[in-house]
């Protein structure tokens, strides 16, 4: 189940013209917080936007408490921690400065059971974001937002597909079969026998041998997604990642002659590979490979990634656990992103391909489902 809820402290905005949070009366608030919830059974993500209503700051800390036992499992664009019911989100090295009247944003992901009410006690650098009235009235919960083509939890994303709109055996509409480099004996078909959610998925029969490439390409225009491109897909496959290099998800990069950053594997572990210079993230040293890990076989796994289009910065998560070796923070780290950062220009993805590229031995059968790409974080 997916729902969206916007909550603003000190600014009476809500669904259907009704206040989400209305804090009237005398006094002034230290900030205004827009709290947007994407919720499903047992889990949630929150996109948190904060407007600084006080003096300019060079670093910030936003605190709140969860009233119903919710637990934070990860965050982005902030250092997020929880002790008991108290949660703290702190600025990072690149986003601490917020002028008076300026805004910043970050996100959190977590779990819940029973209920998932929005917090009512935000504080910005220790000062309350209430405006002095001390009262807040939550709006009624909205109806679940629809998903596009059956994609789970990605309403509003440019690509949001669970392939439920596919009626035949060959991809149509928002998807087409492609081989951007060269093609072999692999195939892409619509499958109704193995799915993550719903009744359809994409099946890729990846064949062994050099240049055995086959993909499903989105027909959506993703060239304006950003400034950070957030992606998510569910994948299931039958054969462990080989020692040889393979790719599963690729995106043409307009800032690199349309060469592709490719998310796949090598030495049995997940990796990013850059087509233009064969740089990898992490490095393929034993220490680098140890900072990544395999893609589980014969079960559905959620892969998420975030690619900054303004600077060299990337992150990748497997089943909501950040993969340390697939983390590029713009600061060269031996065995991790030192090689990747030999190119300083940020990527500008313009396409999205799902499939399999083989450069050596090893066939694999893969299924993709509930695929999303957009300008806001997307949960599993």
| CA distances from residue 105 to 48, 98, 102, 108, 351 in whole angstroms, order as listed | 6, 11, 11, 11, 26
Give the DSSP H/E element, type plus range, for residue 288.
Answer: helix 286-289
CATH 2.60.40.290 in the chain is located at: 3-128
Which of the listed CATH numbers 3.30.70.100, 3.30.1360.120, 3.40.50.12280, 2.60.120.200 matches domain 159-374?
Answer: 2.60.120.200
| CA distances from residue 135 to 18, 25, 126, 130, 237 in whole angstroms, order as listed | 16, 10, 19, 8, 52
Residue for token pair 């889990």? 43
Residue 15 sits at φ, ψ, to 5 deg, of: -80, 140
CATH 2.60.120.200 in the chain is located at: 159-374
pLDDT for residue 144: 32
- In sequence order, which residues have a C-beta less than 8 Å from that of residue 365 and are 6 or more positions away? 203, 204, 205, 206, 237, 238, 239
| Predicted confidence (pLDDT) per residue in 231-251, tens digit | 999 999 999 999 999 999 999
pLDDT for residue 360: 72
Count CA within 13 A, CB hemisphere, residue 199. Answer: 6
Handedness of CA 224, 226, 227, 233 (dihedral sign): negative
SS3 label, residue 266 = strand
- In sequence order, which residues have a C-beta less than 8 Å from that of residue 292 and are 6 or more positions away? 269, 270, 271, 282, 323, 324, 325, 326
SS3 label, residue 265 = strand
Distance CA 72, CA 85 (A): 10
Q: Does domain 3-128 have CATH number 2.102.10.10?
A: no
pLDDT tens digit at each of 380 positions of the chain = 333 333 343 332 222 222 222 222 334 688 999 888 877 778 888 889 899 988 999 999 999 999 999 999 888 788 999 989 999 999 988 788 998 888 888 888 888 888 899 998 999 999 998 754 333 333 333 333 333 354 667 888 999 999 999 999 999 999 999 877 776 778 999 999 999 989 999 999 988 777 778 999 999 999 999 999 999 999 999 999 999 999 999 999 999 999 999 999 999 999 999 999 999 999 999 999 999 999 999 999 999 999 999 999 999 999 988 999 999 999 999 999 999 999 989 999 999 999 998 877 778 999 999 999 999 989 88
Handedness of CA 11, 65, 380, 92 (dihedral sign): positive
Distance CA 50, CA 34 (A): 6
| Predicted confidence (pLDDT) per residue in 175-200, tens digit | 999 877 776 778 999 999 999 989 99
| CA distances from residue 193 to 196, 217, 251 in whole angstroms, order as listed | 10, 22, 28
Residue 278 token pair: 């064969």
Q: Residue 30: which of 91, 101, 136, 120 has the closest Cα?
A: 101
Q: What is the pTM of this model?
A: 0.64
Q: Which residues pair with 123 in a beta bridge?
A: 63, 128
């Amino acid at each position: 189940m997916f729902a969206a809820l916007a909550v603003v402290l000190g600014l009476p905005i809500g669904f259907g013209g009704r206040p989400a949070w209305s804090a009237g009366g005398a006094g002034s608030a230290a900030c205004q917080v827009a709290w947007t919830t994407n919720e499903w059974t047992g889990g949630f993500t929150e996109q948190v936007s904060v407007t600084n209503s006080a003096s300019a700051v060079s670093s910030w800390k936003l605190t709140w408490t969860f009233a119903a036992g919710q637990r934070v499992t990860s965050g982005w664009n902030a250092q997020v921690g929880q002790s008991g019911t108290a949660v703290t989100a702190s600025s990072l090295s690149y986003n601490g400065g917020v002028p008076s009247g300026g805004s910043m944003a970050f996100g959190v992901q977590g779990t819940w059971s029973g209920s998932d009410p929005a917090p009512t006690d935000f504080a910005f650098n220790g000062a309350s974001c209430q405006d002095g009235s001390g009262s807040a009235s939550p709006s009624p919960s909205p109806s679940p937002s629809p998903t596009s083509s059956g994609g789970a939890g990605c309403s509003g994303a440019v690509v949001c597909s669970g392939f439920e709109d596919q009626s035949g055996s060959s991809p149509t509409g928002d998807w087409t079969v492609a081989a951007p480099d060269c093609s072999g004996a692999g195939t892409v078909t619509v499958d109704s026998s193995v799915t993550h959610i719903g009744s359809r998925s994409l099946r890729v029969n990846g064949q062994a041998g050099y240049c055995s490439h086959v993909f499903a390409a989105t027909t959506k225009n993703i060239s304006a997604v950003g400034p950070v491109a957030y992606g998510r897909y569910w994948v299931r496959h039958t054969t462990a990642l080989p020692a040889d290099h393979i790719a599963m998800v690729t995106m043409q990069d307009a800032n690199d002659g349309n060469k592709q950053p490719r998310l796949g594997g090598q030495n049995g572990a997940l990796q990013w590979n850059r087509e233009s210079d064969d740089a990898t993230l992490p490095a393929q040293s034993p220490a680098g490979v140890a900072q990544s890990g395999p893609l589980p076989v014969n079960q559905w796994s959620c892969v998420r990634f975030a690619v900054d289009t303004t600077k060299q910065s990337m992150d990748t998560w497997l089943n909501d656990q950040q993969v340390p070796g697939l983390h590029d923070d713009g600061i060269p780290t031996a065995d991790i992103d030192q090689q990747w950062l030999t190119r300083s220009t940020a990527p500008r993805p313009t396409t999205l391909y799902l499939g399999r590229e083989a450069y050596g031995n090893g066939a694999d059968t893969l299924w993709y489902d509930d695929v999303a790409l957009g300008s806001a974080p997307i949960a599993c």
